[in-house]
Structure 1
Amino acid sequence: MPASPAPLHVDPLVWGHGPRIFEAFLEPTCPFSCRAFSKLPDLLEKAGADRITIKIRLQSQPWHMFSGVIIRCILAASTLEGGKEAARTVMAAVAAHREEFEFTDHCAGPNMDATPNDIIKRIERYSGLHLAQAFAVPELQKAIKWQCRYSRQNGIHVSPTFMVDGLIDPAISSGDTVEAWMERIFA
């Protein structure tokens, strides 16, 4: 009898191991989420991995028309070699080329003719990762649904939203400096 396949491992998008928990709920093509995403490595460095744990939560939003496809690509990347770092590479690639994954005014433009396969291929090209096979694994659905449930259970409706130790902090904004974030996080 053949061995059963190993269960799918979706690497959590978590960096650091400190007692203060900072969760960033991000939609990968939202310009404000992209701005917040770009600050997370600096936050980890300045705060210190022994003082903070940063968790990226993916917040799909229907007005960002390819949101679901892109989030699935990010989670698919987290199942590959490199895990969360591969996922971060995909997020960085999407953020760097955001306009190629978005619609003009959320309803028009060249992406009207794009298919999910086109989006996957663009992400593969920009990230240098092969995602199509991992994208097609049905079990990945569980990780996507978990992200949605977790957001809803915590009252998260838009991105970016930030939580510190399990509580939403509406005073933290993507436009703030990392130093301003640290003042709020470690208050």
Structure 2
Amino acid sequence: MHADELSWGHGPRVFEMFLEPTCPYSVRAFNKMDALLALAGADKVTVKLRLQSQPWHMYSGVVMRCVLAASTLPAGREAAKKVLAAVGAHREEFEFEAHARGPNMDATPRQIIARIEEYSGLALAEAFDVKELQAAIKWHAKYARQNGIHVSPTFMIDGLIQFEMSSGDPVESWAERLL
């Protein structure tokens, strides 16, 4: 089992985004990734996605494990990107109303996995169940803790947290900071 690194571009400037897949602000940041690479140049910037579980997003762990399970499939990081896009496009189906109520109170982890499979078009249940996937999950958690990351989205450029950056910033502002 090998989980692909969630990395796009190959430039010397490294832009890391710590995201929780069901967080609306993380979804907004994720949706800017391709535009950022196009604007800044994939030869100048490397974008790395780091997963940051948030306990108030009740299915965070299940959804994150699905993203990483997708990264072990033959399409690797592109499959993981597809899962992130699918979850972001149907965010309410993976989240609780006001973080504590609503129809997802009756959803099981198997149902959440099935929804992600349906929206992404990927078979994830088998990869989700692979014991070794736990190492990738723990790596993301440990890496975030070692860098002082506690919430999502958080942004780092070349290893330094960018406290003033926001998912609400225009892509042009992100590109300016990187170039």
1:81 is displaced (CA, Å) by 1.3
Q: 2:68 aligns with which of 75, 83, 93?
A: 75
Asked if structure 1 preserves the Cα contact closer than 8 Å seen for 2:40 and 2:178, the reply is no
Is 1:162 the counterpart of 2:155 in the alignment?
Answer: yes
Aligned partner (choices 168, 174, 184) of residue 167 of structure 2: 174
- RMSD, matched Cα: 0.5
Equivalent in the alignment of 2:85: 92
- Of 9, 13, 20 in structure 1, the residue corresponding to residue 13 of structure 2 is 20
How much has 1:118 moved relative to structure 2? Answer: 0.3
Match of 2:133 among 123, 140, 164: 140
Residues 78 and 84 of structure 1 are in contact (CA less than 8 Å); yes or no, is this contact kept in structure 2?
Answer: yes
Deviations 1:112-136 (A, max 9, x none): 0000000000000000000000000
Provide the residue aligned with 2:44 in structure 1: 51
Report how far residue 172 of structure 1 moved.
0.9
Aligned-partner residue type, residue 101 of structure 1: F
Aligned equivalent of 2:54, options 31, 36, 61: 61
Q: 1:103 aligns with which of 87, 96, 108?
A: 96
Uncovered stretches (5+) of structure 1, i.e. residues with no partner: 1-7
Q: Does 1:29 align with 2:19?
A: no
Aligned match of 1:3: none
1:7-52 Cα offsets, whole Å, 9 max, x none, are x110000001100000000000000000000000000111111100
CA distance in 2, matches of 1:29, 1:65: 9
* Structure 2 gap segments, 5+ residues each: none
Residue 115 of structure 1 aligns with which residue? 108
AA of the residue aligned to 1:168 = I
CA distance in structure 2 between the partners assigned to 1:27 and 1:185 by the alignment? 22
- Kept after mapping to 1: 8 A contact 2:20/2:51: yes
Count of residue pairs the alignment pairs up: 179
Amino acid at match of 2:178: I
Work out which of the two has the higher radius of gyration on C-alpha atoms and give 1 or 2. Answer: 1
1: distance between equivalents of 2:41 and 2:49? 17
Give me the whole-angstrom Cα distance separating, in 1, the residues matched to 2:176 and 2:46. Answer: 16
CA distance in 1, matches of 2:163, 2:178: 12
What TM-score does the superposition give when structure 1 sets the normalisation length? 0.95
> What code does the residue aligned with 1:24 have?
M
